[in-house]
Structure 1
């Protein structure tokens, strides 16, 4: 369970977190830590997100490793992205049961356009980490996104 109430968010576009943010230097450091860890996963490459503000780092799975379920991706082969230059929050597509658990535990909320054309119904905003300890929970969620997107 994430400590405290949910942060306030703006529905967008783009959807973003507007409260419970760390100072810009800490936020950037925590975001870069998550990005570095994502880029260590087999078949993941970083790049500019295809569906986010400038400065957002997208995480793209090698097409040869992608499953056939388009609802496992944000767009194309992008499985998640971190809003490095904004609030430090992330968007990802989680398996249904993980998504529900993350929402109930106050780690995430549904994307306001989830289920609309080209937006997976399992797309969530994962709240920005407030410290190093919260990165572990977020990385666990991102591991689920990664595992679900990989070919069986």
Structure 2
């Protein structure tokens, strides 16, 4: 799959915690945007389901890849890698942590949409993507989530829910 092509994020970077829990402290998603993104995330992917997060704060909602999907990239899941199928999670603030291939991580950084996880230097392959403020920004986050799903499944995403 080709690298993500994202519009450059407008505005200043949100304030974030430099240590876990790695969350935003401002620029939260409006409630209707959060709800719309969550509804899409947990209903649009045929080989994924909502699951209790194994790594984030309890209020986060995780995307979990079906256990029947084999030959996935080792860096495609969040810790603990031997027990987890968690590849993204949505925080209450509207931001997401997501696992991506390096080419897409670079695209997110270049477009100013996210930042490394504080434990990146310890091998944690997830990034924080900032909370969308409106529907247009939400479409950008959807592209990032689709890229993660396609990375894990090695298939072109075919939506089951728009």
Mapped partners of 1:29, 1:67: distance in 2:
37
1:136 to 2:139 alignment: yes
Find the counterpart in structure 1 of residue 159 from structure 2. Answer: none
Q: Say yes or no: does 1:15 pair with 2:19.
A: no
Q: Which of 47, 50, 60 is residue 51 of structure 2 equivalent to?
A: 47
**Structure with greater strand share of residues:** 1
Distance in 2 (alpha carbons) for counterparts of 1:6 and 1:67: 36
1:5–1:106 Cα contact (<8 Å) kept: no
Alignment of 1:105-124 (within 5 A): 105-116=111-122, 119-120=124-125, 123-124=126-127
TM-score between both structures, scaled by the size of structure 2: 0.81
Q: Structure 1: which 5+ runs fail to align?
A: none
Instruction: Confirm or deny: 8 A CA contact 1:65 1:151 kept in the other structure.
Output: no
Gap regions ≥5 residues in structure 2: 1-7, 156-162
Please state whether the residue corresponding to 2:89 is helix, strand or coil: strand
Which structure exhibits the higher relative contact order, with contacts defined as CA atoms closer than 8 Å and separated by 6 or more residues?
2
What is the RMSD of the two structures over their aligned residues, measured on CA atoms? 1.6
Count of equivalent residues: 143
* TM-score with structure 1 setting the length: 0.86
Q: Which residue of 1 aligns with 2:158?
A: none
The aligned counterpart of 2:90 is 82
User: Structure 1 residue 66: deviation in Å?
Assistant: 4.3
Contact 2:62–2:89 at 8 Å: present in 1 too?
Answer: yes
CA change 1:12–1:65 in 2 (3 A) is: same
Asked if 1 retains the 8 angstrom alpha-carbon contact of 2:20 and 2:118, the reply is no
Moved over 4 A (4+): none
CA distance in 2, matches of 1:133, 1:8: 21
Q: Distance in 2 between matches of 1:66 and 1:130?
A: 36
